[in-house]
Amino acid sequence: MKYIFKSLLVFTLGACVFACKNKQESIRPTLEAITASVYASGTIKSNDQHEIFSKVNGVIEKVLVKEGEQVKKGQAIIQLTNTAPQLNYENAKLLANYSSEHSNHEKLTQANTELEVAKLKLDNETSLLDRQNKLWANEIGTKNELDQRVLSYKNALSTYNASMLKLNDLKKQIEFQSKQTEKTAAISSSNLLDYIITSDIAGRVYGLNKLQGEMVTTQQAVAVVGNANQFYIELHVDEYDIVKMRPGQKTLISLDSYKGQVFEAVVQKIYPLMDQKSKSFKVDAYFTKQPANLFSNLSAEANIIIETKQKALTIPRTYLIDNEFVYLTNKEKRKVKVGLMDYEKVEILGGISSNDELVKTAQ
């Protein structure tokens, strides 16, 4: 009899435990605040962060800075081997000096002397011709003597004009060659500067991609520089969510480097071109209060707030079936109209009220 009683007691307790385990927890919709947001992954970027390329192909002779070092605008960061360009520049400089007016002083002096001699001879022949004309007018002398004087005058005039033309041509030639060789030297000097790679902003060197002795081309970035103190978050938003993005939206940022902390940012720029590989759009957000210590390319996660309601009828998202149905405790499957969603809750716009009792699954 005792044995039967004990068996019955064990069975009753087991049935009770089984029933308790299978009894579903029920909830009622509650009125509370809900915030809808879009998730995006991202990377911390320095303001003005960009890659630096060489203007010419060459071999690195010397790396002039270190990673993490701050540089000024125009400061040299890499020196390429420039033996051939240097020789070209020196050769162009020699030609410029040789072609200058100072270097051609002797030629100009000689041409001026020849012109002066020709002028003196022309003046003399002019005087003699004038005298012969007066004699001939007084019937003194012969026609042959007058003709000889005219011929000598014309020869002297021709020699003078030729000397004048020679001097002018020489001046033009020297001026042209001087300007041409000076420009060639200037071009060579400019090309020589191309072998010194400089930073185009004042900031920090975040990366050096090449070492001394390595070959660089115009297609390869040699360094990465950016602002040393100001940073922003480069976010990647899925194509399904991009239509919800607006400049000025509040954004909550979490960083692996600052676990447990959340930083506020604001969406500033939305890029209109989709990345075909990732099917995402780039969105830039700027900190409202930047963390004290940041590094470029840190990983970040963001929740971009789309809309907030202070009084919304909500249920846990785990109670929503196929995004449009709920189960009532009376086993009814009812269709509902949903509104805002976050990671835990969903807003109910219609189909049930705060008096309805819900379960996760039908029994």
Residue 90 has pLDDT above 70, yes or no: no
Q: Which residue has the higher pLDDT, 275 or 146?
A: 275
239 shares its domain with 156: no
What is the mean pLDDT of the segment spanning 309-322?
90
Q: Which residue has the higher pLDDT, 25 or 84?
A: 25
114 shares its domain with 138: yes
72 shares its domain with 99: no
- DSSP conformation class of 276: T
For residue 207, what is the domain's CATH number?
Answer: 2.40.50.100
- 267-271: which pairs have CB atoms within 8 A and are 24 or more residues apart? 267/304, 268/232, 270/242, 270/245, 270/246
339 shares its domain with 204: no
- Structure confidence at residue 92 (pLDDT): 63
Confidence class of residue 40 from pLDDT cuts 50, 70 and 90? very high
Q: Tell me the C-alpha distance between 81 and 85, whole Å.
A: 9
Has residue 12 been placed in a domain? no
Q: Which residue has the higher pLDDT, 87 or 238?
A: 238
Q: Tell me the C-alpha distance between 179 and 97, whole Å.
A: 11
Has residue 214 been placed in a domain? yes
262 shares its domain with 161: no
Has residue 256 been placed in a domain? yes
pTM over 0.75: no
350 shares its domain with 235: yes
Q: Choose one of 176, 194, 212: the last residue of a domain.
A: 194
189 shares its domain with 167: yes
- Structure confidence at residue 102 (pLDDT): 65
- 18-26: which pairs have CB atoms within 8 A and are 24 or more residues apart? 24/359, 24/360, 24/361, 24/363, 25/359, 25/360, 26/329, 26/357, 26/358, 26/359
**What percentage of the chain carries pLDDT values higher than 90?**
48
Amino acid present at 20: C
What is the mean pLDDT of the segment spanning 177-181?
72
353 shares its domain with 254: yes
Question: Which residues span the domain enclosing 155?
Answer: 82-194
Confidence class of residue 75 from pLDDT cuts 50, 70 and 90? very high
153 shares its domain with 182: yes
Has residue 351 been placed in a domain? yes
Q: How many domains does the chain have?
A: 3
Confidence class of residue 341 from pLDDT cuts 50, 70 and 90? confident
Q: Is 38 helix (H, G, I), strand (E, B) or coil?
A: strand
179 shares its domain with 137: yes
Has residue 18 been placed in a domain? no
What is the mean pLDDT of the segment spanning 303-327?
90
What is the mean pLDDT of the segment spanning 117-146?
88
- Structure confidence at residue 289 (pLDDT): 92
- Structure confidence at residue 13 (pLDDT): 44
pLDDT in tens, 195-246: 889 999 999 999 999 999 999 999 999 999 999 889 999 999 999 999 999 9
What is the average pLDDT score of the chain?
Answer: 85
For residue 256, what is the domain's CATH number?
Answer: 2.40.30.170
What is the mean pLDDT of the segment spanning 306-317?
90
pLDDT in tens, 276-285: 999 999 999 9
Q: Tell me the C-alpha distance between 269 and 239, whole Å.
A: 16
CB hemisphere CA count around 63 (13 angstroms): 17
111 shares its domain with 126: yes
241 shares its domain with 340: yes
Q: Which residue has the higher pLDDT, 237 or 88?
A: 237
Q: Tell me the C-alpha distance between 280 and 43, whole Å.
A: 14
